[in-house]
Each structure stands twice: as structure tokens, then as C-alpha cells.
């Protein structure tokens, strides 16, 4: 059921995109031959007026076919006969429609849930943030020189800098201050003892909250980790540092249980995941009036949009591995997980809408990139036509689109392989 909901949600995003092209084309009096959802062989179609509405077999993409779009046409209502700005408006309408729909969705969600702001709340003693001098109430303005629009920016920038030490500018009591923050780098392959601590940093971070397993293990909730072999530890960060050095060698773990110390022999297990960066603080949540909701919704949308381009830049420069890319399978799986793991119906709807807004902004921004076969490439060709004052030959434009389409299919195959591999490995 969750997969069906995910496919419907992804299809809705595609419909919104194609509707943008369709509506502006109709408003511009361009002859629309076909409006298709999905690609591949046609499953069924219905014709209304001059336009054929069809559903195709491969649940990926969609298109609006206009007279004179792919070949020259003498029809006065043909796409190629329209002014450059009109054609540009039709092409840009798809991505813009995704962005507008996502922003409206975010506004609706934040109206009910409130919103997070980059004001520090809950700094953990012993954490990198606490050691740097950051305290509750600080409003984070920049991270490594980059402006913070939304709290999620901070984790993205920490990821993009691979956890390198950076300057963090904050607003405190009406004055700006700069602190040097050095995140804790938690490696991709790390050794664990097999328990969930009460806290990541500071008091309680060496106390077992949960064992994360159904069968009985060596630890019990409430156990306080005091020593690893002959090394005394008092918080979680010290435990993690010791395990980095120790690796998978057996350890004698001294715990305090029910007022008595006892020694447990444990061989650490390796766990695999993405490299992460510990900071040690949370953010304040607020509720506001209409204009505050609009402002914070715009900030959140701008943050997602901006981060699309940061992520692409990091892919090109090698900061992010190609293996981390997701395709349709990964997106559908993630949407399904969001729906399935949400405890209540309201939470399911909220999670689904939030993720759809996120994907909608990504879809809109990526489509504006001048890559062959994407809308951004068509806009670039129109700009070249405007500069040359001469139309690009249709056969050359078609060849560029074909090359781009082949590249996109190859990328789709690669990302689908990544998605399947992640599923087989359990994430």
C-alpha cells in the first residue's frame, strides 16, 4: 500500500510539472497535440478537441507535445512560430509550477506545525558546539562563511566540508560573535558496543537507554559504562574515540548496574553507514502569524533550492560520491518508508506532503540546469537563438536532445542500480 501511495505521489509531481507547460502553452495559443503522463508505449488515450490525453506504460516522466516543437511547422499556432520570450515562458513554466506548488505545500504544513529557526537550543555539555563556545539562544547567521536560511543548512554545510573546522558567526544579545567549531567526525565504518545511549554528549551519554535488540544482550537499560579495559570513560564521545583506536578487538567493559560494578567481555561490532558529523545542539521551534509563516516558508524553500546546486557542485568536485545518488526506486522507497513509519494518519499525510515539497523543489531546480533534454538546456538554446538572431536548425536541436536523453537514461540506470544495492544491503 505504501509503495502505491509513493507511486501516486511521484506521479502527481510529474503531472504538476507537465501542467505548467500545458497551461502556459494553452494561454499562449500554442497548438498542443498531446499531454502524456509517463513514457513508453501508450496504454490508452482520449482526445478532447485538438489535444490527445494519454497514459503510457513506463511510470517515469511525461511530456507535452506541441505543434512545431521538435520540427519546423508553418502552422501559425506552432511553438516555433511564437516569439522567444513566449517559448521561454512555456518551457520555464514546468519547473516554476513545481516550485510554486512546493512553496504552497510548505506554507500549509508550517501553518499547522510551526517551524524551526536557526536559534540554538539544547547545547550538550562536552559537545563540539559547547567546546567552541556556542550557547543556547545564539542565532546562527553563517557556517563557514555561508548564510544560514534554515537549520538543515548547517548539517548540509558540515557534510559538504567533510567536518572540517569552520568559523560560525552567531548573533548573541544583539552582537555578532564568531566561534571556531570543529565537528566530531563519525566515520562511515565504525565500531559499536551495541547499545543506544540516553544522550549523544554530556551527562547520560555513557548510560544505556536501549539495547536496540529483541533478545537479551550483555547490556541492560540503566547500565552506566565506566571503563573500557583500563581506560576510564565518563561520556559517549570518549567511548567512540576509544573504539576508533581499539577497532574490533575484544574489550572488558566495566559497567555500574544496580549500584554494583561488573565486568562484561564484549567484541565490538562494525556498523556501516554514511559518514556523519556530530555538533551537539538542536534548534528552537516557533509559531507565528501569517507573515512569519510566509517568511519562514520562503526561507525553507530557498534553502532546499540552494542546496540542490551545492550538492551538484560537490558531486562534480568529488565531495559527494556518485554512489549516494538516488533514482526513482530510491525516491519511491523513501516515500513509502515515510508513510509506513509515521505513527498516525495525520503524521503520514504531513510526512508525505513534506517529502513531496522537497522532491518538487529538487525537480524544479534540476530541470532548470542547462543539461541536454532538460528544460534548462532548451532555455539556453533559446538564449543562443536570441543572441544569434537566428533559429537553431531543428535537426541539431533534436540531436542535442537525443544525446541528453541517452545520458539521462544511463544516469537513471546507474541510480536505480544504487537504489537496489542499498535496499539489498539494508540501507
Q: Where are the chain's structural domains?
A: 2-112+356-424, 116-188+273-286, 189-272
More confident residue, 57 or 324: 57
Residue-level pLDDT at 413: 65
Calpha distance 209→196 (Å, rounded): 6
Residue-level pLDDT at 331: 57
Residue range 278-286: mean pLDDT, rounded: 93
231-232 and 224-228 strand pairing = antiparallel
Percent of the chain with pLDDT over 90: 55
CATH number for 116-188+273-286 (one of 1.10.443.10, 3.30.1360.170, 2.30.42.10, 3.90.1150.10): it is 2.30.42.10
More confident residue, 393 or 185: 185
Are residues 95 and 375 in contact, defined by beta-carbon separation less than 8 angstroms? yes
Residue-level pLDDT at 275: 83
Burial (CB count <10 Å: 0-12, 13-18, 19+), residue 92: buried
The string of pLDDT tens digits covering residues 326-379 is 555 555 566 666 666 667 878 878 888 888 898 899 889 988 988 877 899 889
Burial (CB count <10 Å: 0-12, 13-18, 19+), residue 293: buried
Burial (CB count <10 Å: 0-12, 13-18, 19+), residue 127: buried
**Nearest by Cα to 3 from 345, 389, 332:** 332
Mean pLDDT of the chain: 86
Residue 427: pLDDT band with limits 50, 70, 90: very low
CATH number for 189-272 (one of 2.30.42.10, 2.40.10.120, 2.70.98.40, 3.40.1350.10): it is 2.30.42.10
Which element (helix H / strand E) includes 266?
Answer: strand 260-266
Q: Which of 34-43, 161-170, 293-302 has the lowest mean pLDDT?
A: 34-43
Residues forming beta bridges with residue 257, ordered by sequence position? 260
Residue range 46-54: mean pLDDT, rounded: 94
Q: Fold match between 116-188+273-286 and 189-272?
A: yes
Which element (helix H / strand E) includes 386?
Answer: helix 375-388
Residue-level pLDDT at 25: 96
pLDDT at 144 over 90: yes
pTM over 0.75: yes
Calpha distance 163→166 (Å, rounded): 8
Amino acid at each position: 500500500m505504501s509503495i502505491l501511495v509513493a507511486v501516486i505521489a511521484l506521479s502527481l509531481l510529474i503531472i504538476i510539472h507537465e501542467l505548467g507547460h500545458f497551461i502556459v502553452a494553452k494561454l499562449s495559443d500554442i497548438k498542443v497535440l498531446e499531454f502524456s503522463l509517463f513514457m513508453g508505449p501508450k496504454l490508452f488515450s482520449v482526445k478532447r478537441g485538438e489535444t490527445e490525453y494519454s497514459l503510457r506504460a513506463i511510470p517515469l516522466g511525461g511530456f507535452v507535445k506541441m505543434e512545431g516543437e521538435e520540427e519546423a511547422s508553418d502552422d501559425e499556432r506552432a511553438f516555433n512560430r511564437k516569439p522567444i520570450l513566449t517559448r521561454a515562458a512555456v518551457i520555464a513554466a514546468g519547473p516554476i509550477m513545481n516550485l510554486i506548488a512546493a512553496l504552497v505545500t510548505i506554507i500549509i504544513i508550517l501553518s499547522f506545525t510551526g517551524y524551526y529557526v536557526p536559534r540554538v537550543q539544547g547545547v550538550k555539555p562536552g559537545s563540539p558546539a559547547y567546546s567552541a563556545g556556542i550557547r543556547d539562544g545564539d542565532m546562527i547567521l553563517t557556517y563557514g562563511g555561508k548564510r544560514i536560511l534554515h537549520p538543515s543548512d548547517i548539517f548540509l554545510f558540515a557534510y559538504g566540508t567533510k567536518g572540517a573546522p569552520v568559523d560560525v558567526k552567531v548573533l548573541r544579545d544583539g552582537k555578532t560573535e564568531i566561534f571556531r567549531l570543529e565537528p566530531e567526525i563519525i566515520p562511515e565504518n565504525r565500531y559499536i558496543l551495541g547499545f543506544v545511549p540516553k544522550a549523544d554528549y554530556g551527562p547520560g551519554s555513557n548510560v544505556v537507554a536501549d539495547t536496540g535488540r529483541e533478545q537479551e544482550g550483555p547490556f541492560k537499560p540503566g547500565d552506566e559504562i565506566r571503563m573500557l579495559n583500563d581506560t576510564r570513560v565518563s561520556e559517549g564521545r570518549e567511548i567512540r574515540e576509544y573504539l576508533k583506536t581499539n577497532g574490533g578487538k575484544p574489550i572488558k567493559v566495566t559497567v555500574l548496574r544496580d549500584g554494583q560494578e561488573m565486568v562484561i567481555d564484549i567484541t565490538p561490532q562494525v556498523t556501516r553507514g554514511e559518514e556523519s558529523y556530530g555538533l551537539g545542539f538542536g534548534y528552537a521551534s516557533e509559531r507565528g502569524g501569517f507573515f512569519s509563516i510566509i517568511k519562514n516558508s520562503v526561507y525553507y524553500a530557498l534553502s532546499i533550492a540552494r542546496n540542490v546546486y551545492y550538492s551538484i557542485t560537490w558531486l562534480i568536485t568529488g565531495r559527494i560520491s556518485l554512489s549516494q545518488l538516488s533514482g526513482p526506486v530510491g525516491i519511491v522507497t523513501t516515500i513509502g518508508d515515510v508513510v509506513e513509519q509515521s505513527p498516525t494518519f495525520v503524521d503520514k499525510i504531513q510526512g508525505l506532503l513534506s517529502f513531496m515539497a522537497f522532491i518538487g523543489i529538487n525537480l524544479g531546480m534540476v530541470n532548470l540546469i542547462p543539461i541536454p533534454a532538460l528544460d534548462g538546456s532548451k532555455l539556453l538554446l533559446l538564449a543562443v537563438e536570441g543572441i544569434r538572431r537566428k533559429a537553431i536548425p531543428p535537426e541539431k536541436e533534436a540531436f542535442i536532445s537525443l544525446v541528453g536523453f541517452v545520458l539521462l537514461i544511463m544516469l537513471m540506470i546507474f541510480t536505480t542500480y544504487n537504489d537496489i544495492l542499498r535496499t539489498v544491503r539494508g540501507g
